[in-house]
Structures are given as structure tokens and as C-alpha cells.
Copies of this chain bind each other. A is one copy, B any other.
Amino acid sequence: MFVKNSWYCAGWDYELSQGKEALLTRRIAGEELVLYRKPDGSVVAMEDRCCHRQAPLSLGKKEGDALRCMYHGLKFGPDGKCVEIPGQENIPPQACVRTFPVVEKNNWIWVWMGDPEKADPDLICFSVGPGDRNWNIKTSKVRVNANYRLEIANLMDLSHVTWVHEHTFGGTDAYTYADAKHTLTKRGVNSKFWLRGVPAPVFAQHLFPQGALFDLRFDVEMTIPCNFVLHFQVWTPGSATDDGEPTGQMILDSYASQAITPRDEDSVDYYYAWGSSVATDGPGMSDMLHETITTAFIEDKEMLEAQHQRMKERPNKKMIEIVHDAAPGKLLWVLDKLLKDEASEAAQAPELAAS
């Protein structure tokens, strides 16, 4: 079950060149897509199946703005309408392929999987990509073979950092006791909290004298389906305040932007970026952050894939709730409400929904 009226990340902009052969394939929310860049630089996202016999258009060829199926030569304009059927004059009106609204923003390619009329670019979440001159951001991606709801629960509850990431981001159990403020937003949750007087994360402890302590500031914007943007700062100890601005010295100012796109019920494509502000960067810092986040996401991947298998073995097993389920619960509530709203709209206008 996926929210259709939503922007889903289809990858980094640099993954899709203007080259003649450059076709990108993606499975997003159960749909097979092919993406290509037009000569004017804008991106087209099309269903990756010809309207004739479902041959993948991604085995086809770009011709200017258009895409030609290389099975029988049908050619489709960027609006999905067939403009040529070799061997016949008449092109029936139903000879068209579904296209999807696309927006590029902050180096991410976003695709709207629902009703094009409702595709509002203002719904795209804020993020910080490698093209931002104020931040030294490095990017990567990973496939995780787990349902995206498990990713939501993972990202909304940072208490797991202590355990899953004990060799990377961890080094303190303060995450477990963080007094986070979770605020519902229209399509997500905002979480803010400080960890006060804690050691540096394991990956960075070699940079500081033994026993050095810090205040860590977290500001998470999470939007469905599963976009996580973390403004993360390291401050000298005692800097934290509850409401106003911190009082001490900032050591690191960084942005982690992560877009988790459900491919289907059993896998996600995870696009991620992390880096420090130009002002707080130092030699090798961004490389270290990138190396660490990559290692950490493999730690998550191992846990989530194993959990996903266990969930599939016993889908109806009763499970207990703990205090850390509050934030994931909020986000899943937003998600389920949107799913329910769409289901109810579809029931009222079944023809529209099927199109």
C-alpha cells in the first residue's frame, strides 16, 4: 500500500545525463518507470511499458524529445502520446503511455505517482544536496530489501543509534533518554532534541581528547513516504538551551538528507547525503562523514532486512509497544490517514482512480 499522491525521489540528478543512450529505470511504489532527460534538460518519467505489447521502453531509444520502443518502433512524445506507428497511418487515441510529473530540486529528481492535477511542487520536502554551495555534501545510495514502513520506524526513533550503530554513530545511550519534541506536520513529523554532555560519536572519538564531551543538537523533518532531513550540530558542552539559541561554540554544522523510496512492498531505494557547512568543514571531514554514514546504513540494512523476513514469517504475531514507538507511531498515523483518504477517494470515483 502506497500513497499515490506523493512526490517520490527517483534518484540524484547526476544519475541522469543528457546522453543519447541515457535511460534510467526505477520501480517506485509498485510502478515500473523509465526516465530520460530532454535536450532542454528537463526530465520525463514514463511508464516503462509500451501500450502495444508491454515491451519495456527502457530497451528503446531517445530521439530528441521522444522515446522509441525498439520492439516495433512505436514512438512516444514526452507527454506519452504515440506520435508514430511504423507501417500504419492512423494512430489511435488510446495509443499512449502514462507519464508522471517530475521536478528536480536540491539535486534530487522527484516524481509524482498520483493524479497529475494534484502534483504540487510545494509538497516536496526541503533537503540539502551536493549542489548547495554553503554545504560540502557527499551522496550515495543503497538498496534495502525491507518494507518502507520498517524504514520509517527506524528513522523516526533514533534510540536505535545506541544499539544498531554502536560502532559508528553510537557511543552513548543518551539517545535512549532523549527528551524529543515531536510535532505533527501536514504530511509528516518534526522532532527536535538535544543530547547534553555526551562523548563524540564513536567514529569521531579519535579526533578529541579522551573524555571530551559535547552537546548535540538534532532537528529532524520527516515527511511521507519516508524523507528524512536532519539538521545536526555539535556544540561545546553547556551550549544547549531548551527554547532559544545555543550559547556556546558550534563545532560542526551539518545536514543529512535521506530519501527512502519504496520500490514495492519488499524493498526500498535509499538515497542519502551528508556533509558539513563550509564554515565548519575541515580537511577530510566530509569524506569521513560519508564513509561513516555508508557503514551505518549497512548496519541498518542488515537489521531491517532480517526484521522484514521475520515479519513476513509471522505477519500476525502480537508485538509489544515501548516508549520509543511514539514518534514512529505518529508518522505511521499520518501515512495511514493519507492511505485511507486515498482509498476513500478511489471508492467514490473508481474510474478516476483506475486511470
Query: Which residues of A are in contact with B by a Cβ distance under 8 Å?
Result: 32, 48-49, 51-56, 59, 69-74, 85-88, 92, 94-95, 153, 157, 159-160, 162-164, 166, 173, 176-177, 302-303, 306-307, 310-311, 313-314, 317-324
Contacts and interface: CB of A to CB of B under 8 A. Distances in A.
B95 A303 contact: no
B176 A320 contact: no
A295 to B, nearest CB: 15
Q: Decide if the interface of chain A is mainly helix, strand, loop or mixed.
A: loop
A51 B322 CA distance: 10
A323 to B, nearest CB: 4
Given A92-B320, A314-B49, A319-B51, A71 B307 contact: yes
Contact of A176 (B32, B86, B95, B307): B86
Nearest to A173: B86
- The 10 A-B residue pairs with the shortest CB-CB distance, nearest first, are A54-B310, A87-B176, A88-B323, A86-B176, A70-B163, A56-B306, A55-B307, A49-B310, A73-B163, A95-B320
A294 B190 CA distance: 59
Given A54-B307, A92-B320, 6 more contacts: A70-B303, A71-B164, A85-B323, A87-B176, A87-B322, A87-B323
